[in-house]
Amino acid sequence: MSLIYNFSAGPATIPKDVIYQAQKELINWKNLGCSVMEISHRTKEFNTVAIEAEQNLRYLLNISNNYKILFCQGGARGQFSAIPMNLLGKYSKADYINSGYWSHSAFIESKKYCFSRNILIKKIKNNKISLLKYKKWDISDISDYIHYCPNETIDGLSIYEEPFFDNKIIVGDFSSFILSRSININKYGLIYAGAQKNIGPAGITIIIIRKDLLKNTLKICPSILDYNIISKYNSMFNTPPTFAWYLSGLVFKWIKKKGGIKKIEELNKKKSDLLYKTIDNSMFYINNIDQSNRSKMNVVFDLFDPKLNTKFLKEAKNFGLYALKGHSKVGGMRASIYNAMPLDGVKKLVKFMLFFEKKYG
């Protein structure tokens, strides 16, 4: 089997070491004579997996006991509904910061439950895309929370400032951002992430919520989306996605072994710098996003001549570089370079891009 580099946006590449480990212990996990998928979530063996995963995530993101970590199902989109049903309070209003596709989708879903405001922060000036600094966000005085998305997976846009407003609850969709850099969790009321971008396989969703926000939910809230209930049952009210939980736990250990979030952050900067430098130095590739808002996880770019797109993708694939096609909403190319993408993968992509430019430029 020849190894390929997989730039898929999600489900995305998982560290090879983790895949090998899972393969090695799949058939006879912990000497139980069966796989981790085939035992009850209530066994002491699985309980150890659950506890270790939580402890390691706490360690990696420096999460105090003031916060509860929940492992659930339903993906990030499930949270688009769960958040209003759990966090709406006396105003029944929420502010939604719109920076691209996913934050906009969260806003649309929230309208089923409350009066939400769609606050556009995307600017296009001289053909350059940027996002308004958070101090300029037009937030309202009366809202129960502010929702934003620090990494727009499809648009390739990021917000690196950590927004903070007095007496406001910040909620963040960290699906493609979590564990890519260090954060100050204390600035947030709640952050959530589907696992299939930067953690592990699809099927598990992580919620980190400040304990004082575990309160009464809307009556219509399904029990499986009710943070109080999930929390009370330590994420085992219904059967959790055990295999995804186990694999996410292996990924947390892998990050620890790599040197923790600081090291991962350095590496992510190195990878994205290399790719953006290649794009900026060429007359063949373009990315028109302002430096300060360029995503380090999802690097979008166009070929100056879009007629070459099909050729680019085909030749890249032959070169061992997979899934570089941009999202249909945006077109062009997208290289998702999450934590699990090694620097060598980005170097190989750069090599290919330079070669392709020479051939057709």
Ligand X SMILES: *Cc1c(COP(=O)(O)O)cnc(C)c1O
Q: Which residues are identified as catalytic?
A: 102, 173, 197
User: What is the closest distance, in whole angstroms, from the C-beta atom of residue 232 to ligand X in the complex?
Assistant: 24
Is 175 near ligand X (CB under 6 A)?
A: yes
Q: Which of 36, 149, 225, 279 binds ligand X (CB under 6 A)?
A: 149
Which residues in the 42-101 window bind ligand X by CB under 6 A? 75-77
Interaction between residue 143 and ligand X (CB under 6 A): no
Of 191 and 353, the one with the shorter C-beta distance to ligand X is 191
Q: Which residues contact 294 (CB under 8 A, 6 or more apart)?
A: 156, 157, 158, 272, 276, 287
CB of 202 to ligand X, least distance (A): 7
Least distance from C-beta 263 to ligand X, angstroms? 23
Told to check if 189 binds ligand X by CB under 6 A, we report: no
Closest CA to 254 of 18, 64, 1: 18
Place of tokens 């680019």: 312
What gap in Å lies between CA 345 and CA 151, rounded to an integer?
21
From candidates 197, 271, 294, 325, binder to ligand X by CB under 6 A: 197
Q: Is 271 in the site for ligand X (CB under 6 A)?
A: no
Determine the Cα–Cα distance for residues 254 and 268; give it in Å rounded to an integer: 15
Stretch of 119-127, 173-181, 218-226, 300-308 contacting ligand X, by CB under 6 A = 173-181
Q: Does 332 bind ligand X (CB under 6 A)?
A: no
200 binds ligand X (CB under 6 A): no
CB-wise, 323 or 353, nearer to ligand X?
A: 323
Judged by beta carbon, residue 4 or residue 202, the one nearer ligand X is: 202
DSSP state at residue 120: E
Q: Which residues pair with 302 in a beta bridge?
A: 286
235 exposure class (CB count in 10 Å sphere: 0-12, 13-18, 19+)? buried
Q: Are the beta carbons of 187 and 163 closer than 8 angstroms?
A: yes
Alpha helices in the chain (DSSP H): 16-26, 44-61, 75-87, 101-110, 227-232, 242-258, 260-280, 309-318, 343-360
User: Max alpha carbon distance in the chain (Å)?
Assistant: 63
Q: How far is the CB of 76 from ligand X (least distance, A)?
A: 3
Q: Is 241 in the site for ligand X (CB under 6 A)?
A: no
Applying CB under 6 A, the residues found at the interface with ligand X are 10, 75-77, 102, 149, 153, 173, 175-176, 194, 197
